Amino acid sequence: MLTIYGVYRSRASRNYWMARELGIPFKSVPVIQARRLEDPLAADAPLNTKSPGFLAVNPMGLIPAIDDDGLVLTESLANNLYLARKHGGPLAPADIAEEGRIGTWTVWAATEVEPHAVKIILAYDGGTENTPEGRALIAACARSLEKAFGVLEAHLAKNDYIVGNRFTVADLNLAEVFRYTMSQTALFETHPRVKAWLARCQSRPAFKAMMEERMKEPE
């Protein structure tokens, strides 16, 4: 059975969504980020990214990690590519060309979008979004994201989805990266196709089920 390590309020959300899309059974092992705890190594601390038990799974001390019948993988986006390839179906690439395109878009999101998007999320998580420094950081990140939004907007002018004109693991991976930018409403208003595409992805029952579980967790 697939085991997913990580709380829903983390990048593990991507793997929980993917498992639900595929309809495969999985076990959830909540692992909280150590930065959220005063003393992550305390005897009564919940399982976290500095816990020896979790470090035995992922020595990098990052979530998520998955264990698929003994195969341990530790990068959220790559985990989803693996699960799609293993289980097949419409979310998986139909041929080698689609596999290349899905991989390309996934790496693009990880390198060109997520670094800026994460800074925005961390500013809000840290409560600095309304400070002069926070506003300046968020504005700089939004400017850096304009090119990526433009690239995706142009692609969606001829496609409802990222690859094969159907919902695939590429859409799921990108939607989870772009979700981090949702506070930047101006970017979405000036890129209406990106806005509509993200809404389509997030209207899926598996996404809603994942988010329902996410909302049950403390912030």
| Residue 56: per-residue pLDDT | 97
Over residues 22-33, mean pLDDT: 97
> Containing H/E element for 28?
strand 26-29
Q: Is residue 218 part of a domain?
A: no
Between 104 and 126, name the one with better pLDDT: 104
63 with 7, same domain?
yes
Each residue's pLDDT tens digit, 164-178: 999 999 999 999 999
84 with 101, same domain?
no
The sign of the torsion formed by the CA atoms of 144, 80, 5, 57 equals: negative
- pLDDT exceeds 90 at position 149: yes
Over residues 57-62, mean pLDDT: 97
| Residue 122: per-residue pLDDT | 93
103 with 66, same domain?
no
149 with 180, same domain?
yes
| Residue 97: per-residue pLDDT | 98
- pLDDT exceeds 90 at position 91: yes
Which residues form the domain of 31?
2-88
pTM: 0.96
Domain-terminating residue out of 88, 122, 153: 88
| Residue 2: per-residue pLDDT | 98
Q: Which residues pair with 4 in a beta bridge?
A: 28, 66
> Containing H/E element for 5?
strand 2-5
| Residue 219: per-residue pLDDT | 83
Mean pLDDT for all residues in the chain: 97
- pLDDT exceeds 90 at position 214: yes
CA distances from 116 to 52, 92, 202 (A): 31, 28, 21
Q: Is residue 179 part of a domain?
A: yes
Over residues 45-74, mean pLDDT: 97
Number of domains in the chain: 2
82 with 108, same domain?
no
117 with 178, same domain?
yes
Confidence of residue 121 (pLDDT cuts 50, 70, 90): very high
59 with 122, same domain?
no
Domain-terminating residue out of 88, 116, 134: 88
Confidence of residue 156 (pLDDT cuts 50, 70, 90): very high
Tokens representing 147 are: 């090119």
